[in-house]
Amino acid sequence: MRTSIITIALFTLTLFSCGNEVAKENKESRQDVTKNDSIVTSDTVKAVVVETPFTPCVNDSLNELMSLIAGINKAENSKVLNSFFKSGQFKSFSDNFEKKWFAYDSSRVKRLVEFRNNEITKTVGTTKKLFYPFSGPDILYGYTFFPDADEYIMMGLEPVGTLPIYDEKGIKPDSMDRYYKKVNTSLHAILKYSFFRTKSMKEDLKNQELDGTLHLLFLFLARTGNSICSAKPITLDSTGAIQYVSSFPKLATKNALNKGIEIVFNSPDNKTKRLYYYSLNLADGGLKTNRGMIAYLQKMGTINTYLKGASYLMHEKYFSMVRNVILNQSQFVIQDDSGIAFKYFGENGKWNYKFYGQYIKPISLFSYAYQKDLDSAYKLNGAKPIGFGIGYNFKDKNSNFMIAEKVK
């Protein structure tokens, strides 16, 4: 038996029905209030607007699962996974991970938030739709830098995976040790260096215990204070429309070019958001035969794009299609030098730039991707300090960051 597939009908039901039912109730209640939102009295003859209170959709099963993956102990309030939260293996994992996350949250995240508030938000403003290709499961940086987005569209080669859910036939709480170790291993690079290593992800997210991105998407959403309403496996049809699949195991065996997940979640500031992750090949060779994704990308409309640790792929001619989507549809492109080569911005309209950190030669693995024109732009325009390390040159004094704004 695969030790990561802990799955029963209870979760299949809650996965699809709980979120939908609550959402339906919320919609109906909003309609009722809307009908009566202007109340006119004979005394005042004034319209009184009644604001609809935010009622988050709640999925107890998924939120317990999310907490379990993230090492957040919910034993006192657990309705489904209580025995897992109380196990010695979970307590050990939770204690160790709490220390690791506290060190990360109190040091790096604090600096990320300061930079976001002082630079990104003031320059970019509100981001409604964030496009983050070559992201892997890194909703951590996407959400930290752009917490106001209503929709996050993420893409990578890594598989979606299946939910690690309780199996009535007997995955026992004390048999989860290998799973917890895999979670810790997979997070090493992102917490230490700020990016996922593509080669490591191929190994970390293709095993029986940790078989895809959704595990880490859940973890990061939990650790950034969000709650989950629903998580649904999806594909795209030839017109780019989303098609829901009955289960994650079925999605894993499905012959589809665009396998993905739709996560509806509630943020700490009481807003409902959507996260989409698609597993696919974004090279021109992969996209040319992928009618559904081409249509989907076109339907995104105006976006802001974030790029980090993108392996310099869009420096190459054979990643021109996704590069052109970004340059044509983005109002802002926020990236390090591993994203779109600087020369392509000048070839696609007019852009204003803000530079941060210091541009130096790429690490030896990507030494071929040195950009003389970007080096000149840094020297000519100057750059503000970042205050933290990010990207492949993850040391503070070696990191670079750019915000490009399209001139209308």
How does pLDDT run across 15-46, given as a tens digit for each residue? Answer: 443 444 434 444 444 444 343 333 333 344 44
Helices (H), 300-402: 320-329, 342-346, 372-381
User: Helices 177-193 and 214-223 sit at what angle, rounded to 10 degrees?
Assistant: 70
Distance between CA 136 and CA 154 in Å, rounded? 7
- Average pLDDT value for residue range 162-169: 55
For the chain, give every domain's residue range: 9-280
Going by their DSSP bridges, the two strands 330-335 and 272-279 should be labelled as: unpaired
Map tokens 């988050």 to a residue: 56
Residue type, 36: N
User: Average model confidence (pLDDT) for the chain?
Assistant: 82
In this structure, are residues 338 and 367 in contact, taking their beta carbons and an 8 Å threshold?
no
pTM value is: 0.83
- As a dihedral over the C-alpha atoms of residue 89, residue 188, residue 183, residue 137, rounded to 10 degrees, the angle is 150
Q: Residue 243's beta-bridge partner residues?
A: 235
Distance between CA 276 and CA 233 in Å, rounded? 10
246-298 residue pLDDT tens: 999 899 999 999 999 999 999 999 999 999 999 999 999 999 999 999 999 99
190-227 residue pLDDT tens: 555 444 444 444 444 455 567 888 988 999 999 999 99
Task: Report whether pLDDT(151) > 90.
Answer: yes
Q: What are the angstrom distances between the C-alpha of 360 and each of 310, 327, 367, 369, 372?
A: 17, 24, 10, 11, 10
Burial class of residue 304 (count of CB atoms within 10 Å of its CB; 0-12, 13-18, 19+):
buried
Encode 167-197: b = buried (16+ Cβ within 10 Å), e = exposed: beeebebeebbebbebbeebbebbeebbbbb
In this structure, are residues 136 and 156 in contact, taking their beta carbons and an 8 Å threshold?
yes
pLDDT confidence bin for 349, thresholds 50/70/90 = confident
Poorest-pLDDT segment among 36-40, 45-49, 112-116, 139-143? 36-40
